[in-house]
Structure 1
């Protein structure tokens, strides 16, 4: 299964090239998940690192940008096409070096593609 499409924003997501999403609230279909701590695109695998604050004891999660279904720039809010529980079950994000590790990013992409296929 190719993970390429999970690493690009959907055309109808509202993303504008070069847009800084740092600090935007991240919302799943079941409520707020956290805030964008940073965004990156190593190896062409664009993703957001989402800080959950106290929701999950300060854990962060890596979310491929292909999961973004909407961006409300004036409201500083990003909507994902999954639930917070599904984000919580994604491959665990531990260190910043993982944001550059192709094998870790591929595992994350495969997980989220399965969510999209099941929807």
Structure 2
């Protein structure tokens, strides 16, 4: 993860303006789902990942968890394990995305969940 949880890191190869919807998302130990929507706004960048039947819902993942992107494969790699993602607070609504307490809880969870 980067120093700023809501920014893509300088080495992850993110290109602002790239439509990431439908891209595969991989944890360090396997696939977790596909990007449903995303933001690449400065200091408010994130992925909303549809985990399908694996978790039955969507997850908000701060962009700082992205380690690299493979544009040819349309794959995003995270610094998180599947277990960390599975245990994260579930993303329930668009309004929740703007809730400062939810966002703080989410960042606290990911930053203490394991090595960044």
TM range (shorter): 0.7 to 0.9
Query: Is the Cα–Cα contact under 8 Å of residues 25 and 77 in structure 1 kept in the other structure?
Result: yes
Query: Is the Cα–Cα contact under 8 Å of residues 42 and 99 in structure 1 kept in the other structure?
Result: no
| Equivalent position to 1:111, from 105, 109, 112 | 109
Q: Which runs of 5+ in 1 are unaligned?
A: none
Q: How many residues align?
A: 115
Structure 1 runs (4+) greater than 4 angstroms displaced: none
Higher helix share: 1
Q: Which runs of 5+ in 2 are unaligned?
A: none
Shift of 1:43: 9.0
Query: Considering only aligned residues, what root-mean-square deviation do their CA atoms show, in Å?
Result: 2.1
Distance verdict in 2 for CA 1:4–1:104, change over 3 Å: farther
Deviating more after overlay: 84-93 vs 30-39: 84-93
Structure 1 match to 2:9:
10
Instruction: Determine whether 1:74 maps to 2:72.
Output: yes
> What does the per-residue CA deviation read over 1:60-84, in whole Å, with 9 as the maximum and x for residues that have no partner?
1110000000101110100000111
Structure 1 match to 2:29:
30
After TM superposition, the score normalised by the length of structure 2 is 0.88
Structure 2 match to 1:95:
93
Higher strand share: 2
